Structure formats: C-alpha cells, structure tokens
Amino acid sequence: MITLRPAQERGSAYFGWLDSRHTFSFGEYYDPNHMGFADLRVINEDKVSPGQGFSTHGHRDMEIISYVLEGALEHKDSIGTGSVIRPGDVQRMSAGTGIMHSEYNASKTEPVHFLQIWILPEKKGIQPGYEQKTFADAEKRGKLRLVGSRDGRDGSITIHQNIDLYATTLHAEDKVSHTFGDGRVGWLQVARGAVQLNGQPLTAGDGAAISDEPVITLQGAASDAEVLLFDMAA
C-alpha cells in the first residue's frame, strides 16, 4: 500500500527569514494524523534567507540529519563541531544526552534550501556525536545510494536506529527498484523534480508511506529529480 502525503497539505511556518514546510507535526503545526511514520519523526523542508538562521538551541535523544539541496548551511555545536554543509553532503547529529547547536545560512547573498530530518534513536541516553560525509552526484545518478545506515556500511553515515537511508537522482529515462525485507516499511520523500512511484506521479515536496509493498520502482519524469528513501522496521 502506498499512501501519498501531498506537498500542498503539509504544515507551514513563515518567519520572514525562514520558510518551512512540515511533513509531520512540528512546532505550532499539529495534526494527530501526521505525527511521524515508524521511527521517522520529522521531515522539514527549510529555506533560510542569506545571513540568517537558527540561533543556539538544544536537543535530546534524537538523530538529526541535514540534507542540503541548494546553498550552504553552517553548523556549530557544543561538542566542538564547526562545519559547512553543501549539496551532496549528508550530516548526522546525535543529540543523545543533550547537545546545543546553531545552523546559519553561510552565504550573505544566496538562500539555503535543505531538509531537516529527525529519527527516533534505538535507545535514549547515548553519547552526543556528529558525522558528515559527501556523496558525489555520480554515486546517486540512476541508482539508490546508501547514505545512512545503522552500521555505516558502504561508506554511509551511521544512524543509531535500524534504518537504511538511500538517495538517488533521476533523469527522465532513469529507473531504479528497491526490495523491502520482511517486517520493513518505507517512506519516500521527493526533494526536487518529479518521479513516478510504482506508476503513481509525485512531485517536489510530496512524500509517500510504503507498507506491504515487497518491491517499489521509481521512474524519472520530465524534470530531473532528487529523492530520499527510508527503509525502516515496521
């Protein structure tokens, strides 16, 4: 079964410097029918104005992943990390017992557009941590590239949860398939462009919950697409 979460039905927040769309309940947006899916708790699509950002704030017991689509995101945290995240990078911050961090648009002239993803950890109270890796477009073009996993296999970032995170970029002629194991479900998020999921059209911002579908096929459409796929325990 594939259940579509249309982009236009997401929650929203606008603060002048921030334009955000919430796939699941977040902040002042609350929808009891969209509180997350399996261990996936938050997918926010954020656009931040030049030189603006999220001032220092805290998190606990959450795996937080940032995936930049355009621009550059500057990250600083209380465990001493300072980095800039750009398209092709995947960042994981484990909040664990508690961490403070800030995120700013690193450019004074260009906006930054990114996905912020929260995943519930497999246990509470882990040591806070940070990891960032770069995955070239050639690694994702026309194929599902593992970019995050529990064991960090194939050069992916490590996520403290039984989850595999894949990224792909697709031209119109590209097609990829994925097989789910027993007791597994999926979430597909279209970051940009348009695709067909088992023949069903999706466009930028759309998400889809996937259950009882042993195999899915993604087909590129007229515009180049970038897609994230989460394979999780049900």
DSSP 128: P
Q: Compute the average pLDDT of residues 199-217.
A: 96
Q: What is the pLDDT of residue 80?
A: 87
- Supply the pTM of this predicted model: 0.96
Give me the chain's average pLDDT, please: 96
Q: What is the pLDDT of residue 166?
A: 98
What is the tens place of the pLDDT at every residue in 49-70? 999 989 999 999 999 999 999 9
pLDDT range class, residue 152, cuts 50, 70, 90: very high
What is the tens place of the pLDDT at every residue in 156-207? 999 999 999 999 999 988 999 999 999 999 999 999 999 999 999 999 999 9
Q: What is the pLDDT of residue 223?
A: 78
Q: What is the pLDDT of residue 222?
A: 76
What is the tens place of the pLDDT at every residue in 65-105? 999 999 999 999 999 899 999 999 999 999 999 999 999 99
Could you give all domains of the chain from N- to C-terminal order, each with its CATH number? 11-134 (2.60.120.10), 137-233 (2.60.120.10)
Q: What is the pLDDT of residue 173?
A: 84
Contact between 162 and 232 under an 8 Å Cβ cutoff? The reply is yes
